Amino acid sequence: MSSSRDGERIPRRSLPAFEEVDGGLRGALRTHGLIGTALLDKNQYGPQAMILLLVITATCTGLVLGGLMLIT
């Protein structure tokens, strides 16, 4: 893939190297972990792992805020 095409103002970056993982998201998490899959793009399941990370973060935030509401 070339870094620049005719008519494009912003040059494209080269694709990151990642491993094809069989077994779906569960297999990807077993192989590279949540951080490796979601943030470091080590396999093709990065977007799904980012959604999972968002759900975990939102749940923890909700639990902390709910707990603070109960004690105040």
Question: Region 3-25: what's the mean pLDDT?
Answer: 80
pTM exceeding 0.85: no
In a domain, 8, yes or no: no
In a domain, 9, yes or no: no
Q: Read off the DSSP letter of residue 13.
A: P
Give the integer Cα–Cα distance in Å for 8 and 72: 55
Q: How many domains does the chain have?
A: 1
In a domain, 5, yes or no: no
Give the residue numbers spanning the domain of 65: 24-71
- Measured at the CA of 53, the angle between CA 50 and CA 59, to 5 degrees, comes to 140
Instruction: Give yes or no for residue 64 having a pLDDT over 80.
Output: yes
pLDDT of residue 62: 98
